[in-house]
Amino acid sequence: MKDFSNLISAIEITNKTNAKIEALVAYFKTAPDKDKLWLIALFTGKRPSRPVKSTLMKEWCMEITQLPEWLFLESYSTVGDLGETLALLLPNPENQIEKPLHIWIEELIHLKNKTDLEKKEYVLHAWNGLNAQDRLIFNKLIGGSFRIGVSKKTLVNALSKLSGIDGNQMMHSIIGNWTPENITFEALLNGEHINYDNSKPYPFCLAYALEKELNDLGDEDEWQVEYKWDGIRGQIIKRKDEVFIWSRGEELVTQQFPEIVAAVSQFKDDFVIDGEILAIKDTAVLLFNDLQKRLNRKNVTKKLLEEVPVGLYIYDILELNGKDLRAHAMEDRRNELEQLFLQNSSKMLQLSEVIDFKNWNELDELRNKARAFNSEGLMLKKKSSDYHVGRKKGDWWKWKVDPLTIDVVMIYAQKGSGRRSSKYTDYTFAVKKEDKLVTVAKAYSGLTDKEITEISRWVNKNAIEKFGPVRTVKPELVFEIAFEGIALSNRHKSGVALRFPRMKRWRKDKTVKDIDTIESVKALI
């Protein structure tokens, strides 16, 4: 635990990727194998479920410290992170507990089914045997997240440097269906589990946002252009009569889409294909809000299947009958994909349309019309490109339609977390509804540090009420917010839901009289 805690501290104090890689390599060289496996699991989304509710931990801390709730909430508001708040408020430990990381995690896994009294006894004993930093790590193991800037790519680069194994193979090894209980560290690095695990996905090939002029891309004939869709990016794997569906977030979502599984099962060949799962009704692509009704469902009812039918638009093929095609040129992979569908057909699965265009000038008009049928814009893919791991500039570009925008007024402000915990960075916005204001979105990105500092000072002077870490403010600051899409929603008071809202600019030239109405917002649907 001490070594893991020191690693987290070393990573948190630097924003240099190479320094983080060096710290990870040093840890992997000395830590026990089970600790190494759990570190990889924690940083790749395979953490165990929360064994103790955060409300209980808060109650126990207030009981120990004798703090009133208002003072605890003020402390939480200032720190911005519950695990860190608890670690800082608790008194110095009376004992010293030394256990490796994997023992702590195994104990927490077993703690889940204990009574609240047994959980309290265990947690209080741990708090009394750990210093503030180790206590913070312990709290994070219970239910927090380690937001320290370690991406899967950084982790893979560290493991590759440690072992000498190719990064692509390493990425393939650490994602997918494994747990620290069913594999050794050496077996994981060497990918010994890949061959017998039919469900193993490949790392996704991703695109950068277009940052060039179209004419700078060269000859139009070198590019394949498709529509960009807003659904669930997925890899559909069929191997040895088994079908698996993986999301881009490396979650196994097979059970959520039984109709796709049934359609893929009818194909004769084995393959791994890359595509977009979309809500499709009467050949029309529905909004992402419709697709959300199908997500994270353990059981998909017949009624839901009928209300929100799904389909798959297929972009690429990565493997065919056991042969890895990722190193082949994209135009060759497209030919393989088309041949596969000549021999097999399904209404549920469709090849992504390749857009026929003569020159670059035609594409801008096509992109601008894309939102009319719920497309996000265009994808530009070099025909000679391989299916690489992650993002690689120059091969794949995404060219989205311009975002929608509205003018809103800020009515609530909340402090951020981590390095942003001392300033108000998270805001709630409203539009006019007759003679009142109705909340329409929350956002926390888009402003400069200087603007955030200025707004934080304003909030301190103009707060009307406070509810824990949230401050109600005078409705005076107007912002232009941008978003990718909009849909009707019964879950929101305003009756609408915005997709990916963020602040485009602070409109100091406008007042609350100039903001949008709920009617003008709904007119965008």
Burial class (CB in 10 A: 0-12, 13-18, 19+), 282: exposed
Identify whether the C-beta of residue 265 lies closer than 8 Å to the C-beta of residue 238.
yes
Supply the angle between the helices 69-79 and 82-89 in degrees, to the nearest 10: 120
For residue 20, CA distances in Å to 8, 149, 154, 175, 314 come to 10, 9, 8, 20, 37
Helix (H), strand (E), coil (C) string for 361-383:
HHHHHHHHHHHHHCEEEEEEEEC
Q: Can you count the helices (H) and strands (E) in the chain?
A: 19, 22
Handedness of CA 457, 459, 463, 469 (dihedral sign): negative
Closest residue by Cα to residue 517 from 403, 405, 404, 437: 437
Tokens standing for 434?
Answer: 């007759």
397: which DSSP letter?
E
Q: What is the rounded CA–CA span in Å between residue 483 and residue 475? A: 21
Q: Are 502 and 440 in contact (CB under 8 A)?
A: no
| Alpha carbon separation from 307 to 231, 279, 291, 300, 525 (Å, rounded) | 17, 10, 10, 11, 20
Q: Provide the token pair at 372.
A: 């009319």
Cα-based distances in Å from 318 to 114, 302, 314, 333, 343: 45, 32, 11, 8, 18
In single-letter form, the type of residue at position 104 comes to: W
Burial profile 223-258: b = 16 or more Cβ within 10 angstroms, e = fewer: bbbbbbbbbbbbbbbbbeeebbbbbeebeebbebbe
Q: Which of 20, 34, 36, 228 is catalytic?
A: 228
Pairing of strands 310-320, 349-351: parallel
Closest CA to 519 of 371, 370, 390, 406: 406
Instruction: Give the count of beta carbons closer than 10 Å to the beta carbon of residue 346.
Output: 15
Q: Is 240 a catalytic residue?
A: no
Residue type, 181: E
- Active centre residues (catalytic): 228
